[in-house]
A and B are shown apart, each in its own frame.
Chain A
Amino acid sequence: MMLKIKRVPTIVSNFQAEDAGARSGCGRNCLKSCCIQGARLPLYAFKKEKSADGGNAAVEHDKEPPVEFLDSLLLGEWEERMQRGLFRYDVTACETKVIPGDYGFVAQLNEGRHLKKRPTEFRVDKVLQPFDGNKFNFTKVGQEEILFQFEAGEDGDLLFFPNAPIDVDNSPNVVAINVSPIEYGHVLLIPRIFECLPQRIDRQSFLLALYMAAEAANPYFRLGYNSLGAFATINHLHFQAYYLAVPFPIEKALTKKVTTLESGVKISELVNYPVRGLIFEGGNTLLDLSNNVSDACICLQENNIPYNVLIADSGKRIFLLPQCYAEKQALGEVSAELLDTQVNPAVWEISGHIVLKRKEDFEGASEGNAWRLLAEVSLSEERFQEVNALIFEAISGNSTLPDEDKIADVPKTVKGSTLRLTMVGGTQECVVLQ
């Protein structure tokens, strides 16, 4: 039995249409071969050497970083698009508040985000689905919705080219606007856009996302990922990111350490939070942290377990949240009251940032009902521990990785230098699962 739910998809691009029939012959200034010739975009090439730690005594710089260049570029371009009217609404005009309580859930009243349209069917029982060029994907967005290319540079300083050509053959990573933003600066990071990868995490792409978080060097700029079945709407590999200058409730939740891997990565469990999940932090290098998390995600994907990922604390803390809400919804197990709020608990909602479309929901928003909603999303304790067992097995023995992931481990870089990824054999210490 195929599990499906009906919902109105969020419009993330002005060129997204429900019936994503082929649009021939352009003039829309999209990214496909019809329009891409001669297109130019700013290019941000970051320095690859980054350590995962908070900045040791030995390290030189380390003051509170001023608004980093990446922030300036992203915010400047975003503001420009806002002045050009590319967004469907002014998100800063949406009232927002912190719900009183210990956790500080953030609620926003946003009537414009959800369209009054016919809901579409989404298949929620398969986390891995092949890319379908007929459906909407990011090569169909207008070039004006792309802010800049984001690449790994050589080992040197950060390089910035305000007007670089788009090297289609080298499949750049791009940062695009989300035209239905949750907050100011809401963007999409699309790795290797022209390779048309389906929504699934691989080591290279995850590392890119982590680099972006580290480059921004701003604890209030977070990246998020939704797998299929966990409320990703578009099956074209992408991460989301935006700024919110308060802590997310999930970041404030207490944690209980589970283990430290040989790579130095510490894994903890969330405690006293409505959704069960794991937190990865530390690691001898950023790469170690990235690989451990990627391997965990890949394991979940292969086992058809939908999940969300939150990259917080400038890439130093990563939350991995397996979930089952969509499945429950498809099986009719979610109460009508919750369904009526039309909140789809994806990564931001689970983290504690909840967008509400009805005024009464916003006015009546309480920590209690936010908790209730999110509790529905969580795996049960037993299921969660089963999933943990799978994850730990996968992380400790890299032999579980399918071959193509190993080969694809070399990201392209500007000027042809490559970043070699070393496989880390993590032997974790004894893990006791309750």
Chain B
Amino acid sequence: METLPATWDMYDLFQSFLRTPTYHLIVEVCLVLLIIKLIFSKSYKPEKTVLSEKEKDELIAEWTPEPLVPDIPEDHPIIKLMEKNIVTGPPGKYINIRNKSCINMATMNFLGMISNKTIEEEAVRCIKKYGVGSCGPRGFYGTMDVHLELESHLAKFMNCEEAIIYSYGFATISSAIPAYSKRGDIIYCDEGVSFAIQKGLAASRSEIRFFKHNDTEDLERLLIEQQQKDKKNPKKAKVTRRFIVIEGLYLNYGDICPLPKIVELKWKYKVRIFMEESFSFGVLGSSGKGVTEYYGIDIDEIDLIAASLENAISSIGGFCVGKKYVIDHQRLSGLGYCFSASQPPLLAAAATQALGILEKDPGLVTQLKENCLRVHEGLNKIEGVQIVGLPFSPVKHIRLVEPSDDRDLDIQTLELVADRSIENGVACTVARYLEKEEKFLPPPSIRIAVNCQLNSTEIDRVVTVLNDSFNQVFSL
């Protein structure tokens, strides 16, 4: 190897120059030329349009925004109906609409907790002690002893380590999902899930894969698909969390999720389960603990259970239960928990009281089940409609057997039926959806909610009235 000599001068330089091979020189010269060309050539600039101030002003003046909201006429059918069906008094077993007392087959007061005297007394006691509002989020003096009591009571009732309460049912699951599932994670979700879950999914920004309603084969197909993708990219698979999001009892279908099979898939494909039990809590299982109790599945198999307190418990709010390490995370990451005022103490106390009643008297749940079966049997006799939902489900949908192609027309038909039955003393409602926003819009239906306090004469009356109303409308 040649090293630089100590006395390096022009002569040596010239000598080494002469010794270099010709091709080397040619390459060097070419490189130098190229650099010179690059330096002096004009760089490419896309033509930039510079607008003058005048042009800018013109653009601003020309721009006309769309109206903030589309014009809704004052006599929009929904608004008209809302004003017509204004409720007075407590919406208990009987509900006062149009100055008429109707049997209530529309509100989710499954266990008859509304107008329960002990609950009302408890609420009054609470107002006398705490006032109405809590005036702060949980973090800043908004945690009252009644909240802690409700949380521990819920955890005990559900045999879970920890419970967390939210001040609104809708905010519960829609805050819980994005607390865990982030961008890049995968959520497998049933097509039949409620709107609150759909909003939670959107807020999480995760990858959402819908499987057909209650179709575990379809779910497994998606899971296998993912397994194959994972094999190709194991690095990514290692950090991608996966969740199955299901409902216990589907509001939109009145049926129950096939939990045993889903739990099996959970362990087979290593996916966590989040279950929303708004309509099964207090309804299913021998003591009203929900779907897990119904199937006899250990509650620890489900990673997170969320439910609202607005149905069977008849208060306002929601809760999540699960293992401590799961639930505690929401205390700092659940948006609707951290950044919202806490639940008004009177509503928390009412919920605790209702939970106590349910605990003391599991007969309510049995009674509800009996009523559901009886209502189901009765409704099945009506001609021209089909009853969607399990016989023991307190939520049932009455759909037309032969729907027309026009959704609006069907809704109008059902609306007429509902209207007639109110006139005859039975309050029921057409299930309402935001048609443009639902991912998978269920067919139009009249939604029936069953109350455990109904006796057999009342149920017979309901069936007769509905039957007559349908017959009348069909014969129009």
Q: Are A and B physically bound partners?
A: no
Residues of B within 8 A of A (CB): none
Residues of A within 8 A of B (CB): none
